[in-house]
Chains A and B, each alone.
Chain A
Amino acid sequence: MKRTFKILGLSFIFLTQSAPLFAHGRYILPSHTQLSGEDLKQVTLVASISNDVFHPDKPLGNNGGGEVNSFLSNIFKTLKASVTLPNGTVNNTIEWQAFARQSSTDITIDKPGTYRVSLVQQPTRLVTFKKPDGTPSRFFGNQQTPPPGATNVVHHTTASRTETFITHNTPNRSALISVGSGLELVGETHPNDLFVGETAHFQLILDGKPLKDPTAVHITRDGTLHRNQRNTLERQADALGNFSVIFIKAGMYLLEVEHTRKGAKNSGIDFHHNTLYVTLEVFPE
């Protein structure tokens, strides 16, 4: 009887603590995903932490030029901004400027092929606990010692990858190759070649390997602020991380994946959380 109680207690902790800790969505929204012509091109991008798809709430990323509060500033310290060029080399000098509700940047497109724009939050320590009075609390970053008397202490790491793709003239795949850390979207279909009515085939990769745990993929079209239901498409990735989707409406879409795995024994980490946010543009037939 006592044992049952203990097991129930543990599974309760697992259920509650494995739930997404950063439930707020993130996105990068590019002004253009496809460009043609020989001239040098520019694309303006915005990024935000927001529950509404492509309606900004809080900035995501800052080069020091914008004013952000200390909570966001701590998150941004763990954020790496990059652009992967069509030849596969990575440019880390991209700078995002924070504004009150979103961050923004310009990138110059001077080569043919596909660019990958990324804001990656490196695995960051997080501890969740209940204060002696029972209220839930958490420490993000280096502060890892809960106050005396805290219960339900759980150690986590959280990591996220927020991305989009831009193609100048002919698409290519060098920038699409998995970098081997965190959750990534790869697969047969090029992310800049999405049209209504065609089946798109994708694959989820975790730390460079196909994601084996069956995982839900959520895909939501732009404009959730102006409709009563989010109408999120849900797809289940198979045991190799593969899934497919047929888009029935053109528009900008946010693809979201969350994954939690248990930490190794004696690693001091109970759960590792990874999230992926990819912005995709779908054109009419």
Chain B
Amino acid sequence: MKKTWLLTLFFLLTTKATADIVSIDLTVPELNVDPYHKPYVAVWIESPNRNGLETVAVWYEKDDWLKDLRQWWRKIGRNRTSAYDAVTGATRKPGNYIIRWDSKNKPAIAAGDYWLCFEAAREAGGRDFIRQKIELGHSEAQTFLINGDIELGQIKISIQP
């Protein structure tokens, strides 16, 4: 009994809460196609062994097509492993968008490595999925620059502890 309590205390002391501000500058690219529909986009956080943890953003119109964000749907959407209602929004036209996410008050997010995942799917179009390894609860700022294939453009990630 005492041992369990000590273990819990040890766990609490070593599991450092994080308070990182993750800023994502995401480009919805201009595509010269006809018909053009604005893409459904999901941004979320996975554990190193690829469990869906937190949804950062979901842009969509009709929930009938949420399944087409295949990875996000499988990892988080269909299980509701994290409530994402607060981070949903309408689909965006081509352009640059800033998404800010704060890891504070996210009990599932202890200091450590994570995957930041991006997925886009467009009606009568294609689909893109890319991910970037990030470290949360790290003492230094990090920046990453990644590129989608077709449906997602350049993505700048900056993490401020």
Contacts A228-B128, A228-B149, A229-B150 given; does A51 touch B34 at CB 8 Å: no
Query: Do A228 and B124 form a contact, CB below 8 Å, given A19-B34, A20-B34, A23-B35?
Result: no
The answer to whether A20 touches B35, judged by C-beta atoms less than 8 angstroms apart, is yes
Complex: how many Å from CA A23 to CA B151?
Answer: 19
Looking across the interface, which residue of chain B has its beta carbon closest to that of A19?
A: B34
Q: Is A230 an interface residue (CB 8 A)?
A: yes
B38 contacts which chain A residues (CB < 8 A)?
none
Are A51 and B124 in touch, CB under 8 angstroms? yes
Q: Which of B34, B35, B127 contacts A228 (CB 8 A)?
A: B127
Mark out the residues of chain B between 115 and 136 whose CB falls within 8 Å of any chain A CB in the assembled complex.
Answer: 123-129
What CA separation (Å) do A248 and B129 show in the bound complex?
A: 27
- A51-B123, A228-B149, A229-B150 known; A19 vs B35 contact (CB < 8 Å): yes
Q: How many residues of A contact B (CB 8 A)?
A: 9
Interface size classification for chain B: 10 to 19
Nearest-CB distance from A12 to chain B (Å)? 16
Cα(A23)–Cα(B125), bound, Å: 12
The interface residues of chain B, by DSSP majority, are classed as: loop
Across-interface contacts of A229 in B (CB, < 8 A): 126-127, 149-150
Nearest residue in B to A52 (C-beta to C-beta)?
B124
A91 to B12, CA, bound (A): 78
**Cα(A19)–Cα(B128), bound, Å:** 26
CA distance A25 to B149 in the complex (A): 25
B34 touches A230 (CB 8 A): no
Contact partners of B126 in chain A: CB under 8 A = 228-230
* Measured CA separation A167–B34 after assembly (Å): 34
Q: For A230, what are the chain B residues with a Cβ–Cβ distance below 8 Å?
A: 125-126
A19 to B35 alpha-carbon distance, docked (Å): 8
Q: By the criterion CB–CB under 8 Å, are A23 and B149 in contact?
A: no
Determine the distance from Cα of A230 to Cα of B122 in the docked complex, in whole angstroms.
11
Beyond the given A51-B124, A229-B149, A230-B125, could you list 16 further A-B residue pairs with CB under 8 A, ordered by the A residue number?
Answer: A19-B35, A20-B34, A20-B35, A23-B35, A23-B124, A24-B124, A25-B124, A228-B126, A228-B127, A228-B128, A228-B129, A228-B149, A229-B126, A229-B127, A229-B150, A230-B126
Can you give 21 contacting A-B residue pairs, CB < 8 Å?
A19-B34, A19-B35, A20-B34, A20-B35, A23-B35, A23-B124, A24-B124, A25-B124, A51-B123, A51-B124, A228-B126, A228-B127, A228-B128, A228-B129, A228-B149, A229-B126, A229-B127, A229-B149, A229-B150, A230-B125, A230-B126
**Across the A-B interface, the 8 shortest Cβ-Cβ residue pairs:** A23-B35, A228-B127, A229-B126, A51-B124, A228-B126, A20-B35, A51-B123, A230-B126
